[in-house]
Amino acid sequence: MASPNPSPTSLSAPLLSSDSITPTVANGHAHRHHHHRGDDDDASVCDGEGGGGEPFAFLSEDGSPWRGGASPADPFLNGTPAWCGAYELVKVLVCAPVAGLRLVLFGVSIAVGYAATWVALRGWVDVRERAQEGAGPMPAWRRRLMWITRISARCILFSFGYHWIRKKGRPAPRDLAPIVVSNHISYIEPIYFFYELFPTIVSSDSHDSIPFVGTIIRAMQVIYVDRFSPASRKAAVNEIKRKAACNSFPRVLLFPEGTTTNGKFLISFQHGAFIPGYPVQPVIVRYPHVHFDQSWGNISLGKLMFKMFTQFHNFMEVEYLPVVYPPEIKQENALHFAENTSYAMAHALNAIPTSYSYGDSMIMARAVEAGKANCSNYMVEMAWVKETYGVNTSEAMALLEDFLAMNPDKDGRVNAKDFWAHFGLNCTALCKKIFQYFDFEAKESITFRQFLVGCAHLRKQPLFQDTCETAFEKCRHPGASDIGRDQLADVLRSSMLQLTDDGMMKLYETLDVDDDDRISKDDLMASLAKLPFMIALFAGRINGEVYIEIV
């Protein structure tokens, strides 16, 4: 079993060993005789040569990262073929006049629905500006007035080409299943469920400010949530529980995936619908198609709406599944409850459940924003990463910014030279060993997933935290409260790293988290928590003074 406090012995040879470096001892200092290489040999360190050895063996008895490959699935990929071919051209030309009429119907329906909703909400204190926590149910006469808006919603669906919608099964009684969950493929499902069930929904805070939409969702006695705020998520769960418990409220509708997918896969469920412990009725939605995939994945809203308006007919199927009950033994086991529900929905959909999550859609969207090609290659199966390593989406996004700055190629891969250049370092033997830790496939380049999982695995090692604290104590001058530039330069020399002035400045700025021109203990701990592989650069100082003699 590993010792809780790292000793100098536990941080020794594995980090600094190399086939091309032979240690000797003279005058109380360790000499490292480095055989001189020509320029071509120096470059080859990043191209396939360099000593072996695990650079992080000192952190635990098993320093190797997780070796599994990424799932080839892309749950957000829209499968519509490219806009070409005689059929698509003829269809658009034939449907163009019809599309104009549909657009008029869409506009009129929006206007009528908004007007009816505005009247229904006028004077109602509980939602004068926006829905309030603890508000009471909508009075009966206001709910009856909302039927106008519900009919308008059905007209909107008709304008989009959903002339008839095939239904299978029926909604369970509200007192039997007060919570409904559905897969989420397009913006069509919320419109359909508004017409069919008029439920209470859970929505992002940002939706309240959307013209027309914000007013209508307030009439649904929406439960607002900021998914990145633990306090907001907890308050939303309490509201779900309160409204599910009272039959005077509509049933609560949630899309537990948290974002839209292409319908071929289910991504990881969020647990808000399952924490209250009420029975849940799953509903699955399908969009059978040949030429036009109606999923709102990696396709713009304008293009999706245009394609809907220029179809002869869009098919939609809705199936109400049997009610799923909470586990009898563990009523509050939300994870188990969510897994049971996900399995039932995946089985009925003939879809594949995956460990991707809303966080993956954020990662892919950021890659798109950065102008990268093949952006699905940046996804990491965020639900698995969070469950296994405790890495949240915000932390993953912060690492993504570093990775995008490393100049990934068209396949989303980064080589060793670009990797280390981002931190101001050259690709020395030690740096190569660190890079090989991520590049377990030996492809001489790494993906963002390998980078993220490798960092997460290092941070979880049993000795990591203590080793970071030891590194700070060994690197600062006695009596000093921080690590200065000179001390950092000594650290890098002891680890056989040679930096230019610009490289030194770049690395110093990386470690100086609060930009106050000094590396405090908090700075070092925060930077190593984000970039844990950097701990290998400090091992030379922890092990004792080391300098390099070129012969």
Q: What is the pLDDT of residue 62?
A: 56
Q: Which two tokens stand for residue 120?
A: 């229904």
Residue 270 lies in a domain: yes
Residue 44 lies in a domain: no
Q: Are 541 and 23 in contact (CB under 8 A)?
A: no
CA gyration radius, the chain: 29
The last residue of one of the domains, among 353, 386, 411, is: 353
257 and 159 share a domain?
yes
295 and 151 share a domain?
yes
349 and 467 share a domain?
no
262 and 331 share a domain?
yes
364 and 348 share a domain?
no
Q: What is the pLDDT of residue 2?
A: 40
Q: Which residue has the tokens 């950021």?
A: 366
223 and 93 share a domain?
yes
Domains identified in the chain, total number = 3
Taking Cα atoms as reference points, which of 374, 379, 411, 375 lies closest to residue 397?
A: 379
Residue 6 lies in a domain: no
Mean per-residue pLDDT pooled into runs of 10, the chain (551 residues): 38 31 35 39 44 65 59 82 71 87 94 92 68 75 93 95 94 95 94 94 79 82 85 90 91 93 92 92 93 84 89 94 85 82 94 91 92 90 92 94 94 93 85 89 92 92 87 78 78 70 82 84 89 84 49 35
Residue type, 251: R
255 and 217 share a domain?
yes
251 and 284 share a domain?
yes
Q: Which domain holds residue 324?
A: 86-353
324 and 368 share a domain?
no
Residue 384 lies in a domain: yes
122 and 260 share a domain?
yes
Q: Which two tokens stand for residue 299?
A: 């396709």
Q: Which two tokens stand for residue 4?
A: 């809780």
Count other C-beta atoms under 10 Å from residue 144's C-beta: 10
The last residue of one of the domains, among 333, 353, 373, is: 353
Residue 479 lies in a domain: yes
Q: What is the three-class DSSP state of 144? A: helix
Residue 489 lies in a domain: yes
Q: Which residue has the tokens 């080859």?
A: 44
The CATH number linked to 487 is 1.10.238.10
Taking Cα atoms as reference points, which of 511, 537, 540, 509 lies closest to residue 428?
A: 537
Q: What is the pLDDT of residue 285?
A: 96
Q: Which two tokens stand for residue 90?
A: 């003829």
Which residues are registered as beta bridge partners of 71?
none
The last residue of one of the domains, among 459, 490, 523, is: 459
**Rounded to an integer, what distance in angstroms lies between the CA atom of residue 131 and that of residue 128?**
8
Q: What is the pLDDT of residue 38?
A: 40
Q: What is the pLDDT of residue 402?
A: 94
Taking Cα atoms as reference points, which of 152, 114, 107 lies closest to residue 305?
A: 107
Residue 365 lies in a domain: yes
380 and 435 share a domain?
yes
Residue 67 lies in a domain: no
451 and 328 share a domain?
no
